[in-house]
Amino acid sequence: MIVDAISPLDGRYAGKLVSHRKYFSEKGLMYYRCKVELLYVLALDKAGLFEPLNNQEKLNIQDCIDNFKESDYARIKEIESVTNHDVKACEIFLRERTQLRDVNMLHFALTSEDVNNLAYNFMLKDYLEKEHLPQIEQLLNKLMELAALWKKVPFPCRTHGQKASPSTAGKELAVFVNRITRIYKELKCFTFLGKINGAVGNYSAMLSAFPDFDWLNFAHDFLRDHGLQPNICTTQIEDHDTFGTYFNWTRQLNNIVIDLDVDCWLYISKNLFSEKVKAGEVGSSTMPHKVNPINFENSEGNMMLANSILGFLTDKLSRSRMQRDLSDSTVQRNMGSALAYSSLGITELMRGLNKLEINENVCRAALEDSPELLAEPIQTILKIVGVDDPYTLLKKVSRGQKPTREMLMELVKDLEIDQETKDRIYKLQSVHYIGDAIRICDLVLETTKKVMQENVNLG
């Protein structure tokens, strides 16, 4: 942790974001640039356009890809202090590091954006596969665990903040499992677009050197070999539209997390949920009794911050002046901040969920104290036996009032309907009025397990 860090990402939260530095630090960006340059050299070698690389050169290239060191990064920054061009600094460094006999193979006929777009694509692809998806899986597993555990626990629902028909706690969590699973499925199959086609996207420099070589197919094969889809028509820059798509899926996931954060917070405030007490923790500097839902609050704040940055990134990166300008270069360096805040949001939600308990007795008592909830099933049953306008009949004794169970049953007793229907209504209990909630919960859990077990070749 940097004690005088400007951002909490490198200060307060640094210990929770160690893995993110591998992808989104300046060193990480330089590594991915070097990786692109070197993979391109290997592809050129395979194409047979230059004198073949010898075994030592291939070993040097692979060693640089596999063992990029602090000293390598330091050397690039030293070179950049002279060139004032980061991609050119990588190229010069790689000449030294790989000791190629023909250094012209490095960065051959490329523009900086060929390297940059692929560096960011590889960065995001690796992050999605190795960090983002596994974290979503952890969240889904935790929510499924709680949903399965609480699928039969009657739960007092609210619509418009008012008492509504009951459900089960498990089914209400399954709603979030279902929503997150849809996003997870999209991200699990997601593929980034890339380009490696020269200064204005036409392979012009490449064709000037080797006019009889099929550079378009070469580039498309190169991209597919490394898990990307070719963007077949670009300006000097790759249009970043798939960045925006990824960020928008992430924003939507974050919105679902915020929704869950707020619901958990509200249910805790109504004593339907509670949090396990941890020894040594303090809820208030003046009120010793408090156990605050701080993890859900922290998650909500981080997700809102993440979404504000992700929204800006999506809007900005989809725009470029004519062939290109450098404003996108500045902005792209902040992708890691947005995704780090998103990661923190899920981390804090998980901490909250791991402490969450359901107050089953409180839930049951709330339902038993709400006989007015039976107005819905009573009026629905009365409709099928021909009672005239049962909705209005029940509305008169329930809307804006606190009817007792006895009042409702007395109303039914006085109706001219068959005794079998009356007996059916007399058996109704608010605590049992949960419809098909248990089966719905089971269906969601079964569907999500199948989605998570599907083998998808990303890219």
Residue in 404, 382, 405 with CA at minimum distance from that of residue 393: 382
- pLDDT band of residue 459 (cuts 50, 70, 90) is very low
Q: What is the CATH number of the domain that holds 208?
A: 1.20.200.10
Say which CATH number the domain at 380 has.
Answer: 1.10.40.30
Q: What does pLDDT average to over the chain?
A: 92
Lowest model confidence (mean pLDDT) among 15-19, 43-47, 55-59: 15-19
Element holding 275 (H helix, E strand):
strand 273-275
Q: 121 with 35: CB under 8 angstroms?
A: no
**pLDDT at res. 359:** 97
Q: Express each pLDDT in 120-157 by its tens digit.
A: 999 999 999 999 999 999 999 999 999 999 999 999 99
Q: Judge whether 9 lies within some domain.
A: no
Q: Which of 7, 19, 269, 284 is catalytic?
A: 284
- Residue 151 and residue 277 in one domain: yes
**347-401 pLDDT per residue, tens:** 999 999 999 999 999 999 999 999 999 999 999 999 999 999 988 988 888 777 7
| DSSP state for residue 458 in the 8-state scheme | -
Range of the domain at 236: 112-365
**Which CATH number do you get for residue 96?**
1.10.275.10
**Above pLDDT 90, what percent of the chain?**
78
Q: Give the least confident one: 134-138, 198-202, 263-267, 327-331.
A: 327-331
CA–CA dist 86, 154 (Å, integer): 60
Q: Torsions phi, psi of 318, nearest 5? A: -85, 0
CB atoms within 10 A of CB 121: 27
Q: What residue type is 405 in one-letter code?
A: R
Single out the residue in 87, 105, 123 at which a domain terminates: 105
Q: What is the mean pLDDT of residues 221-227?
A: 97
Q: What is the mean pLDDT of residues 319-341?
A: 86
Determine the Cα–Cα distance for residues 38 and 41; give it in Å rounded to an integer: 5
Q: Report the number of distinct structural domains present in the chain.
A: 3
pLDDT tens for residues 3-20?
Answer: 788 888 888 988 998 999
| The pLDDT value given to residue 279 | 52
Residue 234: predicted pLDDT: 92
Residue 66 has pLDDT above 70, yes or no: yes
Catalytic hit among 81, 160, 285, 289? 160
Q: Which two tokens stand for residue 313?
A: 């990134």
Task: Of 360, 382, 378, give the one whose Cα is nearest residue 431.
Answer: 360
pTM, to two decimals: 0.91
Question: Quick one: average pLDDT of 175-196?
Answer: 97
Q: Which residues of 400-421 are buried (b: 16+ CB within 10 A; e: fewer)?
A: eeebebeebbebbeeeebeeeb
d(CA 11, CA 454): 38
Inter-axis angle of helices 26-47 and 86-98, nearest 10: 60
CA 210 – CA 197 distance, rounded (Å): 14
Residues 344 and 398 in one domain: no
Residues 275 and 415 in one domain: no
**Do 246 and 147 belong together in one domain?**
yes
**DSSP annotation of 431:** G
Looking up tokens 């990786």 gives 35
172, 259 in Cβ contact below 8 A?
Answer: no
**Catalytic status, residue 284:** yes
